A and B are shown apart, each in its own frame.
Chain A
């Protein structure tokens, strides 16, 4: 056996196309296939937009486009900023203080993530909109027949999206906050800085990468959101593209606008990496994870409880109460719920297939990128993250164009929908798989190979069992976000293939609130299970 002089060699191989060590075919062939498949939608958009001719570009380059673009960016900025303001205190309270029921709060305040944006918007409208709960109550007592429509437009959209997406910031900040080396803050105190000064000058700057990573997820979520903005009538790029597609059937213009949306998303991602600049955050060299000090809140305890409780009430309890109200009204009115079973089965089926496929594809990509670093593996890995920047609507449109022209066999089948889910949600599965793989030593597989196992056999008997926990977490995450997904499901679902998401959508867009309640509740329950499992796992793993 040849011993490798590790560090010097590693640096060189990462620049070579195929790396120093031969990548077994069982890994690189699937990895390459995944990379190509992930780039397909993007490539097709480019081709399509390029072939659109002047007419399409004239449509895209009108002043109106700039106006919509501005509104989109404004919404993303407002939602990201509000999410940071809401989530950072929550993360700090649930990680660092002696607040009562800290661990329970930690799980509860992450749960609003399971509420789909169109459900959140529908509940807001059905409570405060025209003919909503509030108006009906006021009419009965005071005879008021119209309410000012403050919930529409920017305020309502920003409010709804913030309450559903702040958990992205909360979860990333929480992770870093728990791992922060306590001696940094102690040093600052020894050097004469009090609590607030330490928070402002040490803790917050150290949390910046996590805050930025969470905020970028919120921004991308907002950019790609379709349900809430259309229900709340705030015209953004995604909505404009959908209308273009629905009303004009002008596919080149929609493709060109989709590309612009992708550019915004990529610009946001690029901006986030640039803010880091020369700073690099190195973990404490020794890794001696000393227990962090618990901050005693004293008489602030009640304020802390009240803060967590009010966030939870507004983001989860009130919406659930409104949902329960409409459910009761629906049952009283004799709404049919027999469709529910088939819709739930369709949701579980398509999302389950997507979760399984995403995980199966993520494993070879993770192995190639972690164990065989090279230019090839980096390109494949980057390609697999395309789904981050591509809004669901864009992926769905490009797959529709592609399949209707070149792959009529899968067009109008559930497989095309599953493919869309995989393209969109592979990054989540890949992140989890990568994280669990890079924590285990490559020597383990080498030991298996030394004992006479083939690469594939070593992977199945050693690597995959090691990655199991991470892979399961990835599968749960993919399932959870696929169940909620709306635009791709609307566009790619075969005729007659109704899921919970499409039922909620068709009922709410026509203001049949009572009819939407039952599928919305089923949807929330279905995505709460994997979410609760994920959160409890995270809590246990923490010392």
Chain B
């Protein structure tokens, strides 16, 4: 097996005695797309900047294709790492044309090769005919494609994307994301990208690293971090909407919704343990029931779906999602049943 494209081992970075990145380790395989997902300020952008070499780690080692770029006193400067970074604001050079921007990383090559690579990069992002424009003469989408072409042209070892779609309005976002993803997949480009948008992470990445307060809390496939989160925090970051209190009784989790099947990454859950059950909005089916103890508090019609807020007897509110044709009026008595046989994830509740 070949060495991983990127490898981090116990990487830590402090700013003024505050750890921003703390004991981060992971490795990225050839052609893999990894998302760093977490709230703002969790250190995910710093991880990218460490890989790119704009910052030096205070502890730990970073390797690119098996050779140390950060280890002990070794710190290879950014220009000798062959890492491609795509910035949030694209960072196109305003004084250079599209062609000069895309060719900026190619100027050590012999002219013939340079021309070839330049043309290939321009074709890859379909910018033919715009080569002599300046960045301010392009639309936002075109600017992003120029930035992508510039990053890809020197064939970097790995491409790093820093919140690449956060400047784009919601309408364009999905389209640009799939465009960029198609280009990266087509070239089998190893990619690490940073986002706070879980849908973006789930839709685009092979694996998702969930970060919180400088640490990676879980790193796994999108399905796994969503359905089997390693902690309550991960569950929250991955969009779990409901936290239901329960007690373990004869192997089941007994809650006000009913008896639920469960599994848990926590050791030490036993008979009588008090637990928190996490449930996504699609975890329950809601049915009208004249003697149901729960009631519909409000119904929010969103076009492609309807969100119900169900008021439980305890005063707890559970959010559920339904096909938009569902019609339950506020005040209707209802009953909740698990939507699938998949067990719910349970965590020990501390007192």
Residues of A within 8 A of B (CB): 181, 183-184, 186-194, 201-202, 205-206, 208, 278-282, 284-286, 288, 293
Contact = CB atoms under 8 A, between A and B. Distances in A.
Given A192-B82, A293-B54, A187 B91 contact: yes
B301 interface: no
Nearest to A189: B78
A285 B85 contact: no
Nearest to B45: A290
A282 B94 contact: yes
A192 B94 contact: no
24 contacts: A184-B93, A186-B52, A186-B54, A186-B78, A186-B85, A187-B87, A188-B93, A188-B104, A189-B77, A190-B105, A191-B104, A191-B154, A192-B82, A192-B105, A201-B104, A206-B93, A206-B94, A208-B95, A279-B94, A282-B136, A284-B89, A285-B89, A285-B167, A286-B167
A301 to B, nearest CB: 20
Given A192-B105, A279-B134, A183 B77 contact: no
Contacts of A293: 54
B93 A190 contact: no
A191 B102 CA distance: 10
Contacts of A190: 52, 78-79, 81, 83-85, 105, 151
Contacts of B89: 181, 183, 284-286, 288
Interface in B28-86: 52-54, 77-85
Nearest to B55: A293
A157 B303 CA distance: 77
A282 B135 contact: yes
A187 B167 contact: no
A194 B79 contact: yes
Given A201-B104, A278-B134, A293-B54, 18 more contacts: A183-B89, A183-B91, A186-B52, A186-B87, A188-B93, A189-B78, A190-B52, A190-B105, A192-B82, A192-B108, A193-B79, A208-B95, A280-B94, A282-B94, A282-B136, A286-B88, A286-B89, A286-B167
Q: 7 closest A-B pairs (Cβ-Cβ)?
A: A191-B105, A183-B91, A189-B78, A183-B87, A205-B95, A187-B91, A190-B85
B13 interface: no
Contacts of A201: 104
Contacts of A279: 94-95, 134
B99 to A, nearest CB: 14
A382 B54 CA distance: 45
B265 to A, nearest CB: 37
Nearest to A193: B79
Nearest to B147: A187
A280 B136 contact: yes
A294 to B, nearest CB: 12
Nearest to A285: B89
A356 B136 CA distance: 41
B196 interface: no
Contacts of B95: 205-206, 208, 279, 281
Contacts of A202: 93
A275 to B, nearest CB: 12
A201 B105 CA distance: 12
A205 B89 CA distance: 19
A282 B89 CA distance: 12
Contacts of B78: 186, 189-190
